[in-house]
Amino acid sequence: MFENEREELIQILKTRGIRNESVLAAFRKVERHLFVPEIMRFNAYKDVALPIGQGQTISQPYTVAYMTEALNPQPGQKVLEIGTGSGFQAVILSELGARVFTIERQFDLYNQTLKLFDKLGYKIAARCSDGTIGWTEFAPYDGIIVTAGGPTIPENLKKQLSIGGKMVIPVGGKTTQTMKILTKISEDKFETREAPYFAFVPLIGKEGWKE
Ligand code: SAM
């Protein structure tokens, strides 16, 4: 279903600069229409964010592709995602062979997406809690990806990244943010590059925005 639409989306992603063949292959395989409410299915392959309920969104495909390409997870690596939402980003990471751990703070979304992972046969560890605290039991992570925009980079997440690991996180105001791509050089040293401008829903939590 929607094969032509999916292929058109791949062409859009290529035009916008996505080059990583594994990322493009994951987008070719994962059926985004299964991650959006039924009423939105015909818009699932447009390059736009869509509402998924609870005031939240499934990110724009280009943003998911950009962040995945920036993180560049290798098969078998441990990746922590903050902001499970629809589960689409987690599944893309899983298709790339990463061992995915994902945290969502809203129970209804967490519950709904957990069932979807199960139905689609993805082995993704999911938890309902404040992701700004991270998930210490499985740390350190080779990669951390944050899919909501916070005012700063949570210290807990910096600590839970392995040396040589990468974190991709939008940081800035409540409506627009700069994408920060960090590489951990040593326990307290990070190399950072930045890409403007992205628009995410707020990262709410202990080391995020207050409700
Ligand atoms: N990765 C998601 C996807 O593929 O659909 C994008 C989801 S949406 C842009 C961001 C999500 O982050 C929302 O579901 C929101 O509830 C969640 N969120 C916000 N703050 C959070 C926090 N501190 N911990 C965990 N999840 C959080």
65-84, pLDDT tens digit by residue?
A: 999 999 999 999 999 999 99
Is residue 208 situated within a structural domain?
A: no
pLDDT in tens, 170-208: 999 999 999 999 999 999 999 999 998 999 999 999 999
Output the pTM of the full model. 0.97
pLDDT in tens, 121-143: 999 999 999 999 999 999 999 99
Asked if residue 69 lies in contact with residue 33, where contact means CB atoms within 8 angstroms, the answer is no
Asked if residue 184 lies in contact with residue 190, where contact means CB atoms within 8 angstroms, the answer is yes
Q: Which of 32, 33, 54, 57 to mutate to test the pocket of ligand 1 (most atoms within 8 A of CB)?
A: 57
Q: Contacts for 24-33 with beta carbons within 8 Å, 24 or more apart?
A: 24/65, 25/95, 26/68, 26/92, 26/95, 26/96, 27/61, 27/65, 27/92, 29/95, 30/88, 30/91, 30/92, 30/95, 31/1, 31/2, 31/6, 32/6, 32/58, 32/61, 32/88, 33/1, 33/2
Distance 41 CA to ligand 1 centre (A): 20
| Better pLDDT: 177 or 53 | 177
Question: Please, which residues have CB within 8 angstroms of residue 137's CB and are 6 or more apart in sequence?
Answer: none
Is residue 64 situated within a structural domain?
A: yes
Q: Mean pLDDT, to the nearest integer, of 101-122?
A: 98
Is residue 205 situated within a structural domain?
A: no
Residue 59 appears among annotated catalytic residues: yes
pLDDT in tens, 88-97: 999 999 999 9
What is the per-residue pLDDT for 54? 86
Q: Label residue 36 exposed, middle or buried (CB < 10 Å: 0-12, 13-18, 19+).
A: buried
φ, ψ (nearest 5 deg) of residue 207? -110, 35
Residue ranges making up the domain that contains 119: 3-198
One-letter amino acid of 114: L
What is the per-residue pLDDT for 40? 93
List C-alpha distances in Å: 65 to 49, 56, 59, 78, 209: 13, 19, 10, 18, 25
Asked if residue 184 lies in contact with residue 164, where contact means CB atoms within 8 angstroms, the answer is yes
Return mean pLDDT, the chain. 97
Among the listed residues 59, 129, 162, 186, the single catalytic one is 59
Is residue 203 situated within a structural domain?
A: no
What is the per-residue pLDDT for 25? 98
- Answer whether residue 211 shows pLDDT above 90: no
Atom of ligand 1 nearest to the CA of 64: 4
Is residue 146 situated within a structural domain?
A: yes
Q: Mean pLDDT, to the nearest integer, of 155-162?
A: 98
Asked if residue 81 lies in contact with residue 90, where contact means CB atoms within 8 angstroms, the answer is yes
Q: What is the CATH number of the domain that holds 12?
A: 3.40.50.150
Is residue 204 situated within a structural domain?
A: no
What is the per-residue pLDDT for 32? 98
156 lines ligand 1 (CB under 6 A): no
Asked if residue 48 lies in contact with residue 60, where contact means CB atoms within 8 angstroms, the answer is yes
- Answer whether residue 99 shows pLDDT above 90: yes
- Domain tally for the chain? 1
Is residue 207 situated within a structural domain?
A: no
Is residue 138 situated within a structural domain?
A: yes
Q: Mean pLDDT, to the nearest integer, of 157-180?
A: 97
